[in-house]
Each structure stands twice: as structure tokens, then as C-alpha cells.
Copies of this chain bind each other. A is one copy, B any other.
Amino acid sequence: MSPKTTHDRRTPTSGPQGVAQQLRLDNQLCFALYAASGLVTRAYRPLLEPLGLTYPQYLAMMALWEKAPRTVSDLGEALGLDSGTLTPLLKRMETAGLVTRARDRADERRVQVDLTDRGRHLQDQAAGVPSALACALDLPGEEIVALRASLQDLARKLRGTGK
């Protein structure tokens, strides 16, 4: 939290017309990120609908396929979501028969989320999803790697300042 910031003098776009230019949607990295993220979620929808999953649920399943059982907060840390989002999401997945939720015997504050057989089995059906989407993205492999690295770099920096 810097008290007074004077960083608006360093860009070549500052000045009388600078502000309006900076506030243009097309010039904003952040809007490009927002728009691309929404488009990707939409692109997943038809692929995930046969599996009965939404995109955030699919991400939660991926986290569980990597490691289960795990606690709600562990899952939240992996996904960058809090309990206010995860609790209802996991309840829906429990209703769908994909996961179980049970209080940890050793520490009753925790809830252990585990996969059901059906949830585990879903991984086989999801096997084709990443490549199907990669196909829709139609980006060269190097660019995917570079883009992912840039985004992870950005995320790392924001995580530092955020919390």
C-alpha cells in the first residue's frame, strides 16, 4: 500500500489524451483476460455437459483426481476459491453422486472430500476433454506454453500482493 503513487508519468501514453487511451477496452490486458476466460468457459460447456459437470466442477474434479481425499480448504487453496463458493458446489457434486463429504474423525472442524467410484470413473470419460479443447483453441504448442507461463507468472505476483 503505497500512500502516493506517481507511476502514471512513465508511459508513452500519458498526457491529455493518455487517460482516454488507457481506458479503452481494447488496450486493456485485464479485459482481454476477462473476455478470454469467459470464452474458454463457454467453450468447455458443450464438452462437459455430457459428463454432467460445469466448468468449476470440472476443475474441482481435476483437483480431486490428483489427490483424494482432501479437505475443503486444501481444495480451495488449489483452486483459489473459498468455502462460500466450494460448499454449495461440493454439495451439488455430492447430490450428483460424484463425491462424498464427511467430517474428519480426528479434527471435527475439517470436512474430507473424497471421490466415489462414479467420480473416479468419470476421469476416463473426461480423458478426451483437454485435447478436444486444445483443438478448439488452435494455438501452436509453443504459444500455449508461453501463454500459460505468463499467466502463472502474473498469478504468482498477484497472489503475493493480494494476501
Contacts and interface: CB of A to CB of B under 8 A. Distances in A.
Interface stretch (A93-101, A110-118, A148-156): A148-156
A7 interface: yes
- Chain A contact patch, size range: 35 or more
Contacts of A150: 139, 143, 146-147, 150
Nearest to A61: B23
A154 to B, nearest CB: 5
Nearest to A56: B34
Contacts of A106: none
B128 A161 contact: no
A40 interface: yes
A45 B124 CA distance: 39
A66 B27 CA distance: 12
Contacts of A128: 5, 8, 11
B41 A148 contact: no
Given A127-B11, A131-B22, A28 B152 contact: no
Interface in A28-42: 28-42
11 contacts: A23-B62, A25-B62, A28-B148, A30-B40, A33-B40, A34-B37, A35-B80, A35-B151, A36-B154, A138-B157, A146-B146
